[in-house]
Structure 1
Amino acid sequence: MTNVLEVLARWGGVSRRGNLLRDGVSRSDLEYALESGAVIRPSRGIYALADADPVLVRCASTDSLLTCVSAAKAHGLWVVREPQEIHIQRSDGRFSSGRAVVHRQSWVPPSPRSHVASQADVLLHALRCLPELEALVMVESAIQQGFSREFLLERLPGHRNATARRVIDAVGAGADSLIEVLAREHLRRAGLQVRTQVEVEGVGWMDLLIEDFLDLETDGRTHNEPVQRAKDYRRDRSAQLRGYEVLRYTYSDVVDRPEAMVAEVKRAVARRRSLGLAAPA
C-alpha cells in the first residue's frame, strides 16, 4: 500500500487507474488501498488519496487542468479574490461537471503528472479573462519571481489583446504585496504622481510616496501584531517630523473601498498644496 500512496502523491494526490498501473502499482495493491480507506475512487477509473484536493480530483475526473485565477496559488501568485467558479483548461472547450470558466488555448504544456496548467498558460489566461487589476497583481507577482514580461507580450498580439498588453505595461517593480500594487494603480489612475518603495533616511522604506510628500503605507495582517504596530508608530513619527504626511490603509480599505481611499488621499494632497508647503528635501 505504501507504493500506491507514494505513486499517487507524485501525481498530486489523484490519478487515473491506467497511469498508476504503468507506474508499477499492482491491481491487488490498489484494491487493498481502497478497502483500507487510504485511497478513494471518486469516479470510474479515478483514484485519489483520502485527503486529496477535491478541485484537483474534479480536474482529473474530467481530463482538465486547473488554470487562470484558480491555479494562481499553486504557482505562488498573488490573488485578489477567490474565484466563485472554477477555471479550467480543455482544448475541446467542454466541461460537464458543474459551473466552470473554460479556457481552450495552451501555449506551454504543464509539468508531467500535473493537474495544473503551466505558469505561462495561467498568466495568459488571466490576462485575457480577469478584470485588469486582478490580472495585474497575478502578473506582477510572477514577473517579480523572474517570469519574462517579453514572453507574455509576444503571445498577445493584435487589437483583441490590447487590454492584456496594457496590464503588462502597468507592471511595476518592488511592490511587497498585492494591496500595494492595487493602491499604486488606483492612485495613478486618479492622476496622482506615485513612486514605490522609496527609501528615506531616518524613516526607512515608504510603500508609496505620493506627490513627493505623502507617505502611504499599506498594512497587511502582520501590522496588527503589537511589536509591528509599535514599529509602525515610530516610523510614522519619524516621517512626520521630517515633513511628510502619513496615511495608512488596510487590505479591506484598498480592496473593498478603493474609491474612499483615493478621495482621502486627494483631499490630503489638496490641503497640503493649499497651505503652500513644499515637499521635504
Structure 2
Amino acid sequence: MSRAELLASDLTDNDLRRMVRRGELTQVRRGWYAKPDADTTALSACRRGGSLSCVSALKKHGVWVPPGYDSLHVRATKHAQCRRRDFCVLPGRPLPIDTILDSVPVALACAARCMTDEDWIACADSVMNSQGIKVAELRSQLPYVSAHIDRLLLRCDHRSQSGTESLVRDRLYLRGFHVEVQPAIDDVGHVDLKLGRLLLECDSKLHHTSLESYRKDRRRDRKSVAQNLISMRLTYDDVLYGWDETLEDILAITKPGKHRLSRPKTSP
C-alpha cells in the first residue's frame, strides 16, 4: 500500500515508522509499504517502480485471460517510463500510480497494446459478462479509448459465456460468417453459437462432465438432431491448440451449405 492509502486508514507517519521497526511493515520503495505476507507479484511491480497492471492485473481481478501471458506486466508513471522501457504503456495521458493493483478498466485499456486483438476481445467479453454490462458501458469506463480500442469494441459481445466462445465467434466473424450468439432453441435451450443449422458448443478449460451434465448434453444433442440441426462440441484444446483442424471440420459442413436453413416449400 502507498503511504497515502495507509494514512487514509487513520495511521500516522509515527505509526508507520513503529510498524517498520517491529517488522509489521517493510518499506518496499519510497512511499510504499508491504506486509510480510504481501503478494509476490505486487511486490515485484512495486520494486520496479509501478503498479500491477495490464494482463497481470486482469488475472488478479478474475478476468479470463488466454494462455501465453505469463510475464509480469507493470504500468508506471510517465517519469518512470523515461528510465526503463519494459513497462506497459497506457494509451492517452499517463495516469498516476495511486494503488498497487490497477482497476479493471485501466488494466484492460493497457492490455490493448500487449495482447493480440482476439485475446483482448475475449478479455473484454469476460469483463462485460461478469459485470452484467454492455459495450457502451464498458467503453465509458475505460480511461481512454484509442481508435484501435474502438475498433476492437465493435467486435465484442457481452453475451459470450466463455473465453473459448469469444475466440470462436470472433474468428468466424472475421471469415465472414453470420454468427448468432446464445440463441434460444426450442426443446434445447440456449446454445453458445449458431451458424444456420450448425450449433457450436464451446467448453471452457474447467468444463467437467458429470453424469448429470453428460445426460443433459446428450439430450440437447438428441433434440437438436430431431429438429434437423447439426450439433458440434468444441473442447478447450480444440479452440486454443487445434484450431486449424477444428476450422477444417466447421468448413466441411459450411462450404457445401449443409448448415444453411432450408426454406419452407410454398404451394404452387
> Is 2:11 the counterpart of 1:23?
yes
Q: Per the alignment, do residues 18 and 249 of structure 1 end up closer, same or farther by CA in structure 2, a change over 3 Å counting?
A: closer
Distance 2:5 2:142 in 1: 39
What residue is the counterpart of 2:153 in the other structure? 168
What residue is the counterpart of 1:228 in the other structure? 213
- Which residue among 49, 57, 64 is the counterpart of 2:35? 49
Q: Per the alignment, do residues 85 and 118 of structure 1 end up closer, same or farther by CA in structure 2, a change over 3 Å counting?
A: same
What residue is the counterpart of 2:170 in the other structure? 185
Shift of 1:248: 0.5
More strand by percentage: 1
Distance 2:235 2:176 in 1: 22
Shift of 1:26: 5.4
- Which residue among 188, 202, 205 is the counterpart of 1:218? 202
Shift of 1:39: 5.8
Shift of 1:77: 2.1
Shift of 1:234: 1.4
> Is 2:48 the counterpart of 1:62?
yes
Distance 2:247 2:74 in 1: 35
CA contact (8 A) 2:125 2:159 kept: no
Distance 1:202 1:18 in 2: 54
What residue is the counterpart of 1:8 in the other structure? none
| Deviations 1:17-75 (CA, angstroms, capped at 9, x unpaired) | 9957972435444433x2xxx76676788653333211101122233111111111233
Q: Which amino acid aligns with 1:80?
A: P
Q: Which amino acid aligns with 2:215?
A: A
What residue is the counterpart of 1:140 in the other structure? 125
Distance 1:81 1:57 in 2: 23
| Deviations 1:134-161 (CA, angstroms, capped at 9, x unpaired) | 111122223332372443789335xxx3
Count of aligned residue pairs for this structure pair: 254
- Which residue among 183, 188, 211 is the counterpart of 1:203? 188
Q: Per the alignment, do residues 129 and 269 of structure 1 end up closer, same or farther by CA in structure 2, a change over 3 Å counting?
A: same
Instruction: Report the TM-score when normalising by structure 1.
Output: 0.75
Q: Which amino acid aligns with 1:208?
A: L
Q: Per the alignment, do residues 76 and 109 of structure 1 end up closer, same or farther by CA in structure 2, a change over 3 Å counting?
A: farther
User: Residue 237 of structure 1: SS of its match in structure 2?
Assistant: helix
What residue is the counterpart of 1:7 in the other structure? none
Distance 2:162 2:96 in 1: 27
- Which residue among 230, 235, 244 is the counterpart of 1:250? 235
Q: Which amino acid aligns with 1:181?
A: S
Shift of 1:189: 1.7
CA contact (8 A) 1:16 1:60 kept: no
Shift of 1:273: 3.0
Distance 1:18 1:215 in 2: 51
- Which residue among 72, 76, 80 is the counterpart of 1:86? 72
What residue is the counterpart of 2:100 in the other structure? 115
CA contact (8 A) 2:201 2:233 kept: yes
Instruction: Report % sequence identity.
Output: 25
CA contact (8 A) 1:179 1:218 kept: yes
Deviates more, 1:136-145 or 1:17-26: 17-26
Distance 2:70 2:62 in 1: 19
Instruction: Report the TM-score when normalising by structure 2.
Output: 0.79
